[in-house]
Amino acid sequence: MISLTYLRSELGRRRGRTVLMVSGVAIGVALVLLSTALVSGLDRAQASVLTPLAGVGTDMLVTRTAATDNGQIPSSSDLQALQTEEQATSQAALIDLSHLGKPGTRFVHDFFLPPAELTFPDAQAAAIRALPGVVGVASALTLVANHRQGTVPEIVSEMSIPSQTVTIAPPTPAEDAQINACVGRLLPRPTVPAPGQSPPPPIVTGPPAGMAQCLPKRFRQLMIPGQVLREVIAPPQTDITTTTYAVTGLDLAVAGLGPITRAQVTEGSFLDPASSSGQAMVSGAFATRSKLHVGSRLTINGSVFAIVGLVTPPLGGHPADVYLSLPALQALAGRGGRVNALMVRADGAKDVDRVAREIRDAFRGAQVTTAADLARQVSGSLLDATTLADRLGVLIALVVLAAGFGVAGAMTLASVGERVRELGTLRAIGWRRGAVVRQVLAEALAQGLIGALAGVALGFAIVWLVSALAPPLHAVSLAGPSSPSPFGLGTVTVPAAGDRTVRLEAIVDAWPVVVAITLCVAGGLLSGAAGAVRSARLKPADALRELG
């Protein structure tokens, strides 16, 4: 038994306070809605950005790296892979510009740098595919390439030494005699002919063996005094510009599994498995940077690729700028039959950890990264916003709500205090104690409910506004493809590939609305409680109380 007429008139009487209290609660509720909407909007944004592997049908990523974070010596399999890398590198004539043409001529060339993720034979994919719990394996090769163009520099200096004529003075008589004596000793001693015999004819056979020993030293060795030749070579950094991009070769045999799938194509089409050798896809960001579009051509070291599609690479995996077919990239980079990433799909989410262990056991040196690991590597304003909304937003909203109800409680109490005689009169004319308490509670509750409804309306309005303005948020993946610097100084990371911008959309779910209204009902009851207790203590005799 609650008199709605009385309730309405009472709230109207203290209109100022009612408005104050209602707006306090409304702001609290609106904040609750906004922050939960932001959290769920951010969660959704994050999910779209952070579930790269799920987005490409993958549960885990298998790579191999020589980098050890605890200073351990790389395993023997890693060393093997390193050797292979070195060979490939020398084959690809890493940065010897002299191979590109004569000095002074223009050149354009793409150099494929040795990747941080070491390559391994393609056959590993088959071995992992055979493991129990593995549903599919797609291999990929991701490399960082330096695209260089400019003038071939003067790197090699060609030294021409002028021909010299050395005049040697003829032997002196003393030297002559010495030579003759020496030669004489070398010649066979002449035998004295017997009487009656004619002396044998002298045998002339040229200079006897060892005659060179009889020459004086100056005839044997010609000495030219030492001299140093200096020539300035043109520095290799003439007008060469270098741009870096990441390129991935895709294994097209497994549909829907790989570093990128049809789902990430934003424009055009996916590589056609039947005729992929001359096709390429590029990321939207790379297309913008390089002024490429679907239908334009991309030339890499003389090979021409038609761009068939634009893609949005998932963050966190191995996002690349250019996607080719695996054989095409292997041929271009001189890494036939080698890959450096395997995308593995497990039988079910429960199997992921087990399969990851099996892969580590079966493939020495393997690094298995699961979706959960990848999510941790993403940072940026997206995450900051999520953390903020998560931790602060709801807290602030609850504080505002609590404060609102604290004030409401004080107001209800004050209102009961002011209405001692009025409420006493109700008791005197036959209202039960419970009826008076209910009436007072209903007043507080009504304020809470009005506040909740106003807050829900306000919240929706703000959420709509936020969505309309849609602030962009950045997410940066630390897992971008990287490569040891060609000059041995640290690691070059491709910044653009792992950077994603998402528009924030605030999404109001049903539950925060329900929770907010419930909170307001509870808060209303709570704030009315003090007033209710006081009104319960009122005696009907208070109706006769003299008031000033």
Partner 1 sequence: MYRLRGVTRRFRQGPLNLAAVFDLDLDIDAGEFVVIQGRSGSGKTTLLQLLGGLDQQTSGTLAFEGRELRGLNDRQLTALRLHAFGFIFQQFNLIPTLNARDNVELALRPARLAGPERRERAMALLEQVSLSDRARHLPSQLSGGEQQRVAIARALANRPRVLLADEPTGNLDSRTAEEIGGLLRALWLEQRQTVVLVTHDRVIAALAPRVLVMHDGRFATDSCSGSRPEEVLTASGC
Residue with tokens 């695996």: 326
Beta-carbon contacts of 70 under 8 Å, excluding residues fewer than 6 positions away, are none
Question: Least distance to partner 1 from the beta carbon of 387, Å?
Answer: 49
Cα separation, 306 vs 269, whole angstroms: 12
Q: Which is nearer to partner 1, 154 or 443 (CB)?
A: 443
Q: Which is nearer to partner 1, 103 or 540 (CB)?
A: 540
Over the Cα atoms of the chain, what is R_g? 44
Q: Which is nearer to partner 1, 239 or 546 (CB)?
A: 546
Beta bridge partners of 306: 279, 297
Q: CB-side exposure of 368: number of CA atoms within 13 Å? A: 21
Question: Least distance to partner 1 from the beta carbon of 6, Å?
Answer: 6
Residue 381, both tokens: 């304003």
Q: Strands 491-493 and 482-484, how do they pair?
A: antiparallel
Amino acid letter for position 338: R
Q: Which is nearer to partner 1, 2 or 526 (CB)?
A: 2
Residue with tokens 């999520």: 386
Q: Which is nearer to partner 1, 192 or 547 (CB)?
A: 547
Task: Give the max Cα distance, the chain.
Answer: 187
Cα separation, 328 vs 319, whole angstroms: 18
Question: Least distance to partner 1 from the beta carbon of 512, Å?
Answer: 35
What backbone torsions phi and psi does residue 341 show, to the nearest 5 degrees?
Answer: -150, 140
Question: Least distance to partner 1 from the beta carbon of 440, Å?
Answer: 14
Q: Which is nearer to partner 1, 378 or 426 (CB)?
A: 426
Please check whether residue 406 is in contact with residue 524, taking contact to mean a CB–CB distance below 8 angstroms.
Answer: no
Please check whether residue 142 is in contact with residue 247, taking contact to mean a CB–CB distance below 8 angstroms.
Answer: yes
Residue 398, both tokens: 């609850």
Question: Least distance to partner 1 from the beta carbon of 431, Å?
Answer: 6
Question: Least distance to partner 1 from the beta carbon of 8, Å?
Answer: 9
Q: Which is nearer to partner 1, 377 or 425 (CB)?
A: 425
Question: Least distance to partner 1 from the beta carbon of 522, Å?
Answer: 27
Question: Least distance to partner 1 from the beta carbon of 423, Å?
Answer: 10
Q: What residues make contact with partner 1 under the rule CB under 8 A?
A: 1, 3, 5-6, 9-10, 12-13, 421-422, 425-433, 435, 539-541, 543-544, 547
Beta-carbon contacts of 80 under 8 Å, excluding residues fewer than 6 positions away, are none
Extract long-range pairs of 181-186: CB within 8 Å, 24+ residues apart.
Answer: 182/211, 182/213, 182/214, 183/207, 183/208, 183/211, 183/214, 186/210, 186/211, 186/214
Question: Least distance to partner 1 from the beta carbon of 420, Å?
Answer: 11
Instruction: Name the DSSP class of 65.
Output: B
Q: Which is nearer to partner 1, 44 or 421 (CB)?
A: 421
Pinpoint the alpha helices (H) of 336-432: 352-362, 371-375, 381-387, 394-418, 420-428
Q: Which is nearer to partner 1, 10 or 321 (CB)?
A: 10
Q: Which is nearer to partner 1, 106 or 537 (CB)?
A: 537
Question: Least distance to partner 1 from the beta carbon of 545, Å?
Answer: 9
